[in-house]
Amino acid sequence: MEKGVRMADIAQRLGISIVSVSKGLSGKDGVSEEMRAKIIETAKELGYVPPAPRGKQEDLNKTIGILVCDKFFNENSFYANLYRYLLKSCTECGYTCILEIVSPVAEYSCTMPLMLTRRKVDALIFMGEIERRYMGAAIEYGLPFILLDFYDELISADSVCSDNVAGGFMLTEHLLKTGRTKIGYVGSIAATSSIMDRYLGYCKALLKHGIEPNPVWRLEDRTDNGALCSLELPEDMPEAFVCNCDEVAFNLTEKLRREGYRIPQDVAVTGYDDYRWATINNPPLTTYRVDSEAMAKAALDQLRRKLLHKPVPAPTVMVPGAFVRREST
């Protein structure tokens, strides 16, 4: 490892400012994701080591590999925001991280990334649901790992998730308290554990009030390969929809408006995540705020304990969120 590599060296190599390098390494806004990736890769290539936090040396110089499916990741996605917080948490721990966006071909053929085959990482974070066979192949490399924003009952693994059942329950309970009893759910429940758990929270709230969930009012929002698809409204419309995420709620409100429905007068809509789609929606979305920063910190804490061979407090960490009411309900 080279000594004395500074941010200025990285800046000179890339032809950018030291401030941009600092933002790229710390996970702060102000640089594009493409440039951030170049900064991180150049830092690793040159042998840059961040200042040691609190003087601790035993767990420095670790590299964390982050795996996320291409179908879930774009600049406006929930996972892009979660990755920024992961990058920030890694920097605070003195770690470097490498992001691998797994293509559909690689996922289903179980083609492992170079960071694994060339042993360039010390631990893994699976960010969001991924094909079980692919995950199993990656786990065989024997590295410490954690599942972030999902869990899998068939794989023995520690995980960090939002409290999705509680979020789905709160949103549905809110709609019931507004006097609406005909409530649908938008989400392909077999797609991810998060969508399923939010649906379970929705069902729990309805059943608490003696209302059977109506299968006609559960809309599919994803294709078999996990990509978002166009929504088909039922002929017998409910009074409200609970959506599994803000982006889907945004798509639904656009669809409803084109069909002549007023929101929330005719149909109320809730989202989930409280990311950018919630506030650009017209009207702004009532939603459940996921604490992405707390999730990232919890994931790094779990992983750091594994790297230091310390006991993990709990196999599954549920990070609480918060109900946010806006004009869509």
3-state secondary structure labels for all residues of 32-91 = CHHHHHHHHHHHHHHCCCCCCHHHCCCCCCCEEEEEEEHHHCCCCCHHHHHHHHHHHHHH
Q: What is the DSSP string of 124-178?
A: EEEES---HHHHHHHHTT---EEEES---TTS---EEEE-HHHHHHHHHHHHHHT
Residues 300-313 have a mean pLDDT of 86
Residues 215-232 have a mean pLDDT of 83
Tens digits of residue pLDDT in 249-263: 999 999 999 999 999
Question: Kind and range of the H or E element at 97?
Answer: strand 96-102
Looking at the predicted structure, is the pLDDT value of residue 225 above 60?
A: yes
What pLDDT is stored for residue 93 in this prediction? 85
Tens digits of residue pLDDT in 35-83: 888 888 898 888 887 755 544 445 567 999 999 999 888 888 899 999 9
**Residue ranges per structural domain of the chain:** 1-46, 58-162+292-319, 164-289
Contacts of 319 (CB under 8 A, 6+ apart): 160, 161, 162, 163, 290, 291, 294, 295, 298
| Among candidate residues 190, 219, 215, the one with its CA nearest the CA of residue 203 | 215
Q: Which fold does the domain 164-289 belong to in CATH?
A: Rossmann fold (3.40.50)
Residue 24 neighbours by CB distance under 10 Å? 28
Residues 185-210 have a mean pLDDT of 94
What pLDDT is stored for residue 59 in this prediction? 55
What pLDDT is stored for residue 236 in this prediction? 94
Looking at the predicted structure, is the pLDDT value of residue 143 above 80?
A: yes
> In residues, how long is the chain?
329
Helices 33-46 and 78-93: crossing angle in degrees, nearest 10, is: 30
pTM exceeds 0.85 for this model: no
Helices 33-46 and 18-26: crossing angle in degrees, nearest 10, is: 100
Residue 210 neighbours by CB distance under 10 Å? 7
Looking at the predicted structure, is the pLDDT value of residue 229 above 90?
A: no
Between CA 97 and CA 184 the distance in angstroms is 40
Domain 58-162+292-319 sits in which CATH superfamily?
Answer: Response regulator (3.40.50.2300)
Q: How confident is the model at residue 4 (pLDDT cuts 50, 70, 90)?
A: low
116 versus 229: the higher-pLDDT residue is 116
Looking at the predicted structure, is the pLDDT value of residue 2 above 70?
A: no
| 3-class SS of residue 99 | strand
What pLDDT is stored for residue 314 in this prediction? 72
Would you give the DSSP letter of residue 285? P
Q: Say if residues 240 and 268 touch (Cβ distance below 8 Å).
A: yes
What pLDDT is stored for residue 315 in this prediction? 81
Q: Are the folds of 1-46 and 164-289 the same?
A: no
Would you give the DSSP letter of residue 312? P
Query: What token pair was written down for 87?
Result: 């990058």
What pLDDT is stored for residue 54 in this prediction? 44
What pLDDT is stored for residue 226 in this prediction? 65
Between CA 276 and CA 134 the distance in angstroms is 31
Q: Which fold does the domain 1-46 belong to in CATH?
A: 434 Repressor (Amino-terminal Domain) (1.10.260)
| Among candidate residues 234, 230, 256, the one with its CA nearest the CA of residue 182 | 234
Residues 164-173 have a mean pLDDT of 97
What pLDDT is stored for residue 1 in this prediction? 33
Sign (positive or negative) of CA dihedral 247, 248, 253, 254: positive
* CA–CA–CA angle 179, 263, 170 (5° rounding): 45
Question: Kind and range of the H or E element at 248?
Answer: helix 246-258
What pLDDT is stored for residue 3 in this prediction? 46
Strand partners, 219: 186
Strand partners, 243: 186
Mean pLDDT of the chain, nearest integer = 89
